[in-house]
Amino acid sequence: MDNNRESLGSRLGFILLSAGCAIGLGNVWKFPWRVGTSGGGAFVLLYVLALVLLGLPVMTAELTIGRAAQASPLKMFNKLEKPGQKWHLMGPLALLGNIMLMMFYTTIAGYFFHYLIRFISGNTETLTYEATASNIGVNIGFMVLVVVVGFFVLSFSLQGGLEKVNKYMMLALLALLVILAVHSLTLDGAKEGMTFYLKPDFSVITGKTVVAAMNQAFFSLSLGMGSMAIFGSYIKKERTLLGESVNIIALDTLVAILAGVIIFPAAFTYGISVDAGPKLLFTTMVSVFNNMNGGRVWGALFFLFMIFAAMSTVFAVFENILQMVREYTGWSRKKGCLILAVVMIILCMPMALSGNILYNFKIFNCSAPGDGVSDFCGFTVENIIQSFGSIIYLVFVTLRYGIGWDAFVAEANAGKGLKVQGWMKFFFKYFAPVVVTAIFIYGLVTFPY
């Protein structure tokens, strides 16, 4: 272990930080609208299956590689691969994936700050997704705020900055989540909303639904890009990594499920369409709060919760980018934060302009006006990098051409907790890689370019 490498101060800090990376817009923004557009309960069932059968093996593998290498995703394969091998080529791909994720994520996260301010001020009558997306000042201003806040927190030490801020923010997020979910269950449309949400209708399942469920699971858990590996590199060998993966996935799933509990009863209560897609939280929920008793307060609490969820991922992914760049350049933490803040603001500008100046820009014919940039970034991250990266991690830890099964089990099982068993080898070595590969190829072939 590198004695000069920063480490996390506690197990709770690791779990909340890793879960914070996973808990973000994938859970509280993307998961509900994907449930709404994919048939409800059947999608939720496929999503949970994907988390357990595919997400758990990938997360365990990713954490194991990170802890074994004690390096960022940019350099970890260099430390573990055999001479002459090319596994290290995954490093630059991981860096690209994290950057592209933040290129559209920061603008969406900025919307939540804008909505919170509008609800606090009571100025919500003209608040719509379209109006927000077309406002250049709002898009650029709040995107810059998200980037600056993110790197400002990271400019302090790992324990004194990221770990401390994230710990308090995650606890506040969970408290707000429970309060909002309990309130939503008291609404008149709660029974109808929960029936749609949790009762599966298997007739709506298609190949597209399966692809969406796996992509959602990997996006929600931030898998395949080294986002989990970096936190594996910050921990010691006191706890097993399968057990820690179970804890992270359980917390991540709890937040996603409760986000749906907040949204669907409210939508059915006020007759709002649940298949509104990405606009579900921005246009639909504003309409719900505007028609609800005490809606100004509940709306403010809801978007405060969304800010906590979004920023937890921003902090974690920025940390991943920062460490990769620092390992390559040798920069100090503060210098890296300053330079990367400027670079990320520039790289995030296309998304901030996608609802106005770049409104008609698109790479895929299937993209609606204003969605060209986000569709391209989302497709590259979800459909290509995360799926391909997950396959690489699984193959690397299970085949002799990587570190091999025995070395993987020894590292993953070091410490106290739930251990990888011999019978699990089938899932790690054969089932998960084959299924992920099949869905990955099917998704590429059937994507409506």
Q: Domain spans of the chain?
A: 11-446
CA distance 295 to 350: 33
CA distance 17 to 11: 10
pLDDT range class, residue 406, cuts 50, 70, 90 = very high
What tokens appear for 219 in the block? 């996006």
pLDDT of 358 above 80: yes
* Structure-token match 């990997």, residue found: 218
Q: What is the DSSP letter of 39?
A: T
What tokens appear for 329 in the block? 């350049």
pLDDT of 244 above 60: yes
Backbone angles phi, psi at 244, to 5 degrees: -65, -35
The domain made up of 11-446 has a fold known as Amino acid/polyamine transporter I (1.20.1740)
Please give the mean pLDDT across all residues of the chain: 88
- CA 154, 159, 162 angle in degrees (round to 5)? 35
CA distance 375 to 428: 31
pLDDT range class, residue 1, cuts 50, 70, 90 = very low
What tokens appear for 226 in the block? 């080294």
Q: Which residues contact 62 (CB under 8 A, 6 or more apart)?
A: 223, 224, 226, 228, 229, 232, 393
> Are 94 and 265 contacting, i.e. CB atoms less than 8 angstroms apart?
no
Residue range 45-100, pLDDT digits in tens: 999 999 999 999 999 999 999 999 999 999 999 999 999 999 999 999 999 999 99
Residue range 192-228, pLDDT digits in tens: 999 999 999 999 889 889 988 988 888 888 889 988 8
CA distance 230 to 94: 11
pLDDT of 354 above 80: yes
The pLDDT of residue 348 is: 96
Q: Which residues contact 233 (CB under 8 A, 6 or more apart)?
A: 5, 66, 67, 69, 70, 71, 72, 76
Average pLDDT over residues 409-422: 95
CA 119 from chain center: how many Å?
26
CA distance 123 to 63: 45
Backbone angles phi, psi at 416, to 5 degrees: -90, 150
pLDDT range class, residue 273, cuts 50, 70, 90 = confident
Average pLDDT over residues 385-406: 95
Query: Is residue 293 classed as helix, strand or coil in its secondary structure?
Result: coil
CA distance 4 to 70: 11
CA distance 242 to 220: 18
Q: What is the CA radius of gyration of the chain?
A: 21
Query: How many other CB atoms sit within 10 Å of the CB of residue 121?
Result: 10
CA distance 257 to 254: 5
pLDDT of 355 above 60: yes
The pLDDT of residue 313 is: 85
Backbone angles phi, psi at 239, to 5 degrees: -130, 145
Q: What is the DSSP letter of 382?
A: I
CA 351 from chain center: how many Å?
18
The pLDDT of residue 12 is: 65
